[in-house]
Chain A
Amino acid sequence: MKQTCKTLLLLIAVIFITALPLMGFHLDPGADSEIFAGADDKAMTVIEEISPGYEPWAEALWEPTSGEIASMLFALQAALGAGFIGYYIGSSRSRHKGLT
């Protein structure tokens, strides 16, 4: 029971750290940047500032056809991983309980 408590507290801390910026506790991302844009995209903007002449010399072979498709694929990536971890911890927990 004590362990469950500890896990819950850690989870609440993660949720809190993630929710804090969403509740308005964040710095101004700058006039030319959307709020909560990806840091990867912001780095591209910095590159364009530093070397205005730089032309990317390759392009992605395939791009998700829309933002929705991209979210779907990211969700799928997370779901596959979480599913496997859940399965493993669940099955090793029942095996552990069977032994003791």
Chain B
Amino acid sequence: MHIMEGYLPLNHAVGWTVVSAPFVIHGLRSISKNIRNKPETKMLLGVAGAFAFVLSALKLPSVSGSCSHPTGTGLGAVLFGPTTMSVVGLVVLLFQALLLAHGGLTTLGANTFSMAVVGPFVAYGVYQAGKRTGLSPGVSIFLAAALGNLMTYVTTSFQLALAFPDPVNGFTGSLIKFGTVFAFTQIPLAISEGLLTVIVFGALSRYSFKEMQDLNVLGGGCK
């Protein structure tokens, strides 16, 4: 989902930065509030960040014949809320843009929007919906992480189609082309991310039950 440095026209680059900024600002406030009110969850925030670090570094082969990577933002979004992951995702993207020439500073706003805004919001929404409809935490967390991952890549396809409409078939034609590259490749990876998130979430809810309760993650059934 990394749009490479310089590959978005200036107005798009600025536009996506403006759109992403409020989420990051809200996230910074929410993180500092959390650290003040629930200092015992600080280490858990580190785990959410570390998980995004690991998963976004793993480039995995897919049935489409190309490689892509998971995002790892679903876990943190479920634990701390979506905008916390907007900040964490931005840090991961900055690291990759500066040290790995992966993504870029001019495309940072757009990449933040797909990986650190849309992905976490989808994951958070799906988890909350799952909890309310009585799905087991395991199934909810799987769907949350997998769909958050997939929607991140759908968003990238959408962003690229907006910037580069097909000369013949326009926006839709482009969306199909970029969607084939990104979203289709991503399906098996989204399943893998879902399963890995279930494993880590399971370990956290066993051994850090109290912190998870403080964050109100586990919901009524487990209290």
Contact = CB atoms under 8 A, between A and B. Distances in A.
Dominant secondary structure at the A interface: helix
Nearest to A46: B177
B181 interface: yes
Contacts of B3: 40, 43
Contacts of B204: 89, 92
Interface residues of A, number: 61
Given A3-B206, A50-B174, A85-B50, A36 B101 contact: no
A58 B106 contact: yes
B195 A14 contact: yes
Interface stretch (B17-25, B55-63, B116-124): B55-63
Interface residues of B, number: 72
A85 B202 CA distance: 13
Interface stretch (B28-36, B78-86, B127-135, B159-167): B159-167
Interface in B38-72: 43-44, 46-47, 49-68
B222 interface: no
B64 A29 contact: yes
List the 5 closest A-B pairs by CB distance, nearest first. A56-B6, A81-B53, A29-B65, A81-B54, A58-B6
22 contacts: A7-B203, A17-B188, A21-B61, A22-B61, A25-B63, A33-B66, A38-B68, A40-B3, A42-B66, A50-B166, A50-B177, A51-B164, A56-B5, A62-B101, A64-B99, A77-B96, A77-B100, A80-B50, A81-B49, A81-B51, A88-B50, A92-B204
Interface of A: 3, 6-7, 10-11, 13-14, 17-18, 20-22, 25-30, 33, 35-40, 42-44, 46-47, 49-51, 54, 56-64, 70, 73-75, 77-78, 80-85, 88-89, 92-93, 95-96
